[in-house]
Amino acid sequence: MQLSQMQDIGGCRAVVRSTSQVYRLLDVYMKATAKNARRCGEFVEKYDYISAPKISGYRGIHLVYKYRTEAAQLKMYDGLRIEIQLRSEIQHAWATAVETVDAFTKQALKSNVGKDSWKRFFALVSTGFAALEGGPIVPGTHSDIAQLKQELQGFKKEITLLEGFHKATETIQNKEGEVFLLQLDTEKRLLRTKGYSRDSLAIAQNEYLEAEKTNKDNPSIQSVLVSVESFKSLRKAFPNYFMDISVFVKLVKSLL
């Protein structure tokens, strides 16, 4: 695949309370796209993984756009794709748990690659969560909740491991800013966070690139540069980097 064709190399995400709110937000985007068809980003595709969940159990809605501008100095970006993700809190808790397990166990469950036991566990849990939200089940799982719970009881090892994941020890360098560099060391369970102002975005980007270069041969260290409203919202928006899957565990226990 060409780099210019990757639709999720850049993107943003909205996490709202319920599935109904996800669809209300989707409606806002669709109406805005229709109203400003020639002025805003060019709408490419909608992927509704709530009405048709992925076989992995992933649920959410993705909107793909092509960048479009009249500014001559930005014409180089014309046609590049960006993805908007819309999720409910429950859908986000599921996706966060998958990413956390991937980080600790060196799997790629997010891409449906990994141990069959983990893949089956997350698919079953996703169907359970879908039932809570009144949505369609994941292909290949039980539509009968009693059968679903019975099979989930056989994943005590996975549930125990999830309960054992502790929040990472955190080293904070400046809580102020709208842009944050996160560096997670899964071996040491250490998270370093550093904040930057909007005016320091170029510095933040350079330090992020240096972090990627420094750790390119160390899969235990993951780096990401993110934009959020405040440090307080950082933990809420990226709980997987803080090893915080408490919401997911609580939901699984209530399901059982």
Least Cα distance to 137 among 60, 62, 61, 50 occurs for 50
- What angle is formed at CA 117 by the lines to CA 114 and CA 122, rounded to 5 degrees? 85
pLDDT single digits (tens) 90-131: 999 999 999 888 877 878 888 888 999 999 999 999 999 999
Confidence of residue 186 (pLDDT cuts 50, 70, 90): confident
Question: Which tens digit of pLDDT belongs to each residue from 56-87?
Answer: 999 999 999 998 888 899 998 888 888 999 99
Which letter does DSSP use for residue 34 in this model? H
Residue 242 belongs to some domain of the structure: no
| pLDDT level of residue 168 (50, 70, 90 thresholds) | low
Q: CATH code at 9?
A: 3.30.460.10
Same domain for 44 and 155: no
Asked which of 60, 88, 116 is the last residue of a domain, the reply is: 88
Residue ranges making up the domain that contains 73: 3-88
For 205-228, what is the mean pLDDT?
90
Q: Is the same domain home to 44 and 141?
A: no
Contact 53, 141 (CB under 8 A): no
**Higher-pLDDT residue of 231, 134:** 134
Residues 64/7, Cβ–Cβ less than 8 Å: yes
- Sign, CA torsion 203/183/250/89: positive
Q: Give the pLDDT band (50/70/90) at residue 4.
A: low
3-state secondary structure at position 164: helix
Same domain, 174 and 215: yes
Both 151 and 251 in a single domain?
yes
Number of domains the chain is built from: 3
Instruction: State the Cα torsion 219-4-113-253 to the nearest 10°.
Output: 90
**120 and 17 both lie in a single domain:** no
Provide the token pair at 172.
């904070």
What is the C-alpha separation between 179 and 234, in angstroms, rounded?
Answer: 10
Grade residue 5 by pLDDT with cuts at 50, 70 and 90. Answer: low
pLDDT band at 164 (very low <50, low <70, confident <90, very high): confident
Round to whole Å and give the CA distance between 143 and 136: 9
Say yes or no: 68 and 21 in one domain. yes
Same domain as 251, residue 144:
yes
| Residue 214 domain flag | yes
Contact assessment for residue 101 and residue 162, using Cβ atoms and an 8 Å cutoff: yes
159/251 same-domain check: yes
Q: Are residues 150 and 177 in the same domain?
A: no
